[in-house]
Chains A and B, each alone.
Chain A
């Protein structure tokens, strides 16, 4: 990782790191969405159909 940044300017390193941090945050938020979706389905289960119309 440090080797790859060896021949870069400070600005390039800054942008590269910021991009990687953004990807990591995006993945974490995506995982959170999936977790909440799955937990909702599990918690409600078949009960999701069992409600007055």
Chain B
């Protein structure tokens, strides 16, 4: 009886999280991008992988990415409670406790890395482990709150998935894998700075030193243009190494040109209009990465089926 009463008392303070809350801890939207880029990295890599092994590898990468998302939310609960964008996350809204999120994240990290190592190879598993470490410790715990260059270096964590996919198939990391990494690495700053430009107030309130808050809007706009140009150039890397042909080169050129134009348009504006254009740039950057990787996949597919394009 006392046990029932005790349970009822505990329940009155917290009913515990719902399954959906734990799914939300995995940041499903970020996960979908990770799955997609890892999938492309795996398919364009030279070599064969059994479809089921490939599926399990992607699952491990997705769960590993989700685990790092949960650990990120565990550590960032204090600032998530301040920003409107993150206010409704499971921890700041009180649906999941911080300790539960920590345990959840650590367990999934261990399972995803261990399983990936067992089903593919330990290079891929090591890269996944490093990605989780990089995102949680280097980015979340250290850089995010201390430097306006946080997302430039932290962006590396998001750039690893295609490399992990590549390593899962080949057991190595080649120049092509490095180029795929560089594309996402250079894509991250303009993507997040566009967001930071129109969500500046939020980051300011949370005390996160994003570039617009620290160096000003003008400096951010300049940096966006610089990184966009570097990204557009790097986008041609797979053509130069011979991984892909014109079927990829043409979309890469068009997509890069549009990205550059939108970045320059953000640079030319100020005030409300600049924020509107930054919003457009942010939305476009997502499509850019998606279409670029689809083109990469299509080109490699054509080369494999028809010999050349």
Measuring CB to CB, which residues of chain A are less than 8 angstroms from any residue of chain B?
1, 9-11, 13-15, 17-18, 20-21, 24, 32, 35, 38-39, 42-43
Q: Which residues of A contact B19 (CB under 8 A)?
A: 20-21, 24
Asked, given contacts A18-B16, A21-B19, whether A42 binds B7 with beta carbons under 8 Å apart, the answer is: no
Q: Which residues of A contact B7 (CB under 8 A)?
A: 11, 14
CB atoms of B53 and A10 under 8 A apart? no
Q: How far is the CB of B49 from chain A (nearest CB, A)?
A: 11
Q: Give B60's nearest chain A residue, CB to CB.
A: A35
CB atoms of A14 and B15 under 8 A apart? yes
In the assembled complex, B304 has its CB within 8 A of some CB on chain A: no
CB atoms of B15 and A17 under 8 A apart? yes
1/0 per residue B1-18: CB within 8 Å of A?
000100110111001111
Q: Which of A11, A18, A35 contacts B56 (CB 8 A)?
A: A35
- CA gap between A13 and B8 in the complex, in Å: 10
1/0 per residue B162-203: CB within 8 Å of A?
000000000000000000000000000000000000000000
In the assembled complex, B22 has its CB within 8 A of some CB on chain A: yes
Q: Which residues of A contact B29 (CB under 8 A)?
A: none
In the assembled complex, B119 has its CB within 8 A of some CB on chain A: yes
Q: Which of B4, B11, B115 contacts A10 (CB 8 A)?
A: B11
Asked, given contacts A17-B18, A21-B16, A24-B19, whether A11 binds B53 with beta carbons under 8 Å apart, the answer is: no
CB atoms of B17 and A42 under 8 A apart? no
CB atoms of B17 and A17 under 8 A apart? yes
Measuring CB to CB, which residues of chain B are less than 8 angstroms from any residue of chain A?
4, 7-8, 10-12, 15-20, 22, 50, 52-53, 56, 59, 111, 115, 118-119
Interface of B is mostly: helix
Q: Which of B4, B15, B16, B20 has the most CB of A within 10 A?
A: B15
CB atoms of B11 and A42 under 8 A apart? no
Asked, given contacts A21-B22, A39-B119, whether A10 binds B15 with beta carbons under 8 Å apart, the answer is: yes
- CA gap between A9 and B8 in the complex, in Å: 9
Q: How far is the CB of B187 from chain A (nearest CB, A)?
A: 32
Q: Which residues of A contact B118 (CB under 8 A)?
A: 39
CB atoms of B16 and A17 under 8 A apart? yes
Asked, given contacts A11-B7, A13-B11, whether A21 binds B52 with beta carbons under 8 Å apart, the answer is: no
Q: How far is the CB of A45 from chain B (nearest CB, A)?
A: 9
Q: How far is the CB of A5 from chain B (nearest CB, A)?
A: 8
CB atoms of A42 and B52 under 8 A apart? yes
CB atoms of A10 and B56 under 8 A apart? no
- CA gap between A32 and B108 in the complex, in Å: 12
Q: Give B120's nearest chain A residue, CB to CB.
A: A39
Q: Which residues of A contact B8 (CB under 8 A)?
A: 9-11, 14
Q: Which residues of A contact B18 (CB under 8 A)?
A: 1, 17, 20-21
- CA gap between A8 and B115 in the complex, in Å: 40
CB atoms of A21 and B119 under 8 A apart? no
Asked, given contacts A17-B17, A21-B22, whether A10 binds B12 with beta carbons under 8 Å apart, the answer is: yes
Q: 15 pairs across A/B with beta carbons < 8 Å?
A: A1-B18, A10-B12, A11-B11, A11-B12, A14-B7, A14-B10, A17-B15, A20-B19, A24-B22, A35-B56, A39-B52, A39-B118, A42-B50, A43-B53, A43-B119
